[in-house]
Amino acid sequence: MNYSVLFFDSGIGGLSVCQEAMRQNGNINPLYLFDNLCFPYGIQPDDVVIRRVVDLIQRFTSAIHVDLVVIACNTASTVALEQVRKSVTIPIVGVVPAIKPASKITRNGVIGLLATPATIRRKYTMDLINAFAHDKTILKIGTSELVEIAERKMIGLPYDAEIISHVLNEWTCGDVRPDTVVLGCTHFPHLRDEIQKVLPEVVLVDSGDAIARRIRYLLENEKEKNCENTENSVTEVITEPTAYCTDIRKLNSELISGFRKFGFSDLRIFA
Ligand code: DGL
């Protein structure tokens, strides 16, 4: 049996989570919803992000059969997870910065957190640091420039690689340098090689593996509940990997072929 898993993000970043989930779980049919009308989330006010994420996930799961939702976006998860969980009955997995694993990996006790400007300032992120890395030094860089670069790379547009070294400058030149860096935005694993080139000695940590394992656990353990949902459902069942975006003006051939590379043969509008 194949499970319909909805991956949600503002843009293409969540595909890094989707890819790892598919690698570890052979029984997933991925659906991918991204809110490119409001991209990037990292510079939006919190209430805008909460409203959009709750509304889109609620309407999508009322129209289309979904067994599990993955909010494959740190910026959305760290502010909207609780409200989304209250608004739908389907299990929800959130993606948040991998502070806990990073604090076990670091040897010099200095962790870099690379995320969007919004994730950097969130209470959720501060709580994670206080709970799992209160005895470590955390150096934060909040950037939307790298988010934009990841989008350009994915759809085959040229980008200025110099920007990556510029953004990471304080970790390559500063007196205190991290030996472990958390990729706290799902766009950044798409730039893993480029980031590693600038920070060759550093261990890069993301949440992909942990999320893929969590998905497997939930699909195995929520099986009966999911089957019940399917039987009673009046929602449309999509059986092929299908992506949906919210901005028709950005639905162009580059985006379609970008998604094809990730196995999505169809890109539709969900407005
Ligand atoms: N991919 C997202 C994240 O994990 C958000 C990027 C953005 O829209 O700013 O944070």
Going by C-alpha positions, the residue among 183, 167, 178 that lies closest to residue 202 is 178
Q: Based on the domain organization, do 137 and 186 belong to the same domain?
A: yes
For residue 174, the Cα-to-chain-centroid distance in whole angstroms is 29
pLDDT in tens, the chain (271 residues): 699 999 999 999 999 999 999 999 999 999 999 999 999 999 999 999 999 999 999 999 999 999 999 999 999 999 999 999 999 999 999 999 999 999 999 999 999 999 999 999 999 999 999 999 999 999 999 999 999 999 999 999 999 999 999 999 999 998 999 999 999 999 999 999 999 999 999 999 999 999 999 999 999 987 655 555 555 568 899 999 999 999 999 999 999 999 999 999 899 999 9
Q: What contacts 126, CB < 8 A, 6 or more positions away?
A: none
Q: Based on the domain organization, do 7 and 52 belong to the same domain?
A: yes
**Cβ burial 229-255 (10 Å sphere, 16+ → b, else e):** beeeeebeebeebbbbbbeeeeeeeeb
Going by C-alpha positions, the residue among 195, 196, 124, 157 that lies closest to residue 12 is 157
pLDDT for residue 222: 73
pTM: 0.95
pLDDT for residue 174: 85
**Whole domain around residue 123: which residue ranges?**
99-205
Task: Please give the number of the atom of ligand 1 that sits closest to the Cα of 9.
Answer: 1
Read off the CATH number of the domain in which 200 is found: 3.40.50.1860
Q: Based on the domain organization, do 107 and 85 belong to the same domain?
A: no
Among 205, 222, 245, which residue terminates a domain? 205
144 pocket-lining for ligand 1 (C-beta < 6 Å): yes
- Which residue matches tokens 């072929």? 257
- Distance from the alpha carbon of residue 144 to the mean position of ligand 1, in angstroms: 8
44 pocket-lining for ligand 1 (C-beta < 6 Å): no
Domain total in the chain? 2
Among 183, 205, 227, which residue terminates a domain? 205
Q: Based on the domain organization, do 67 and 142 belong to the same domain?
A: no
Q: Based on the domain organization, do 63 and 121 belong to the same domain?
A: no
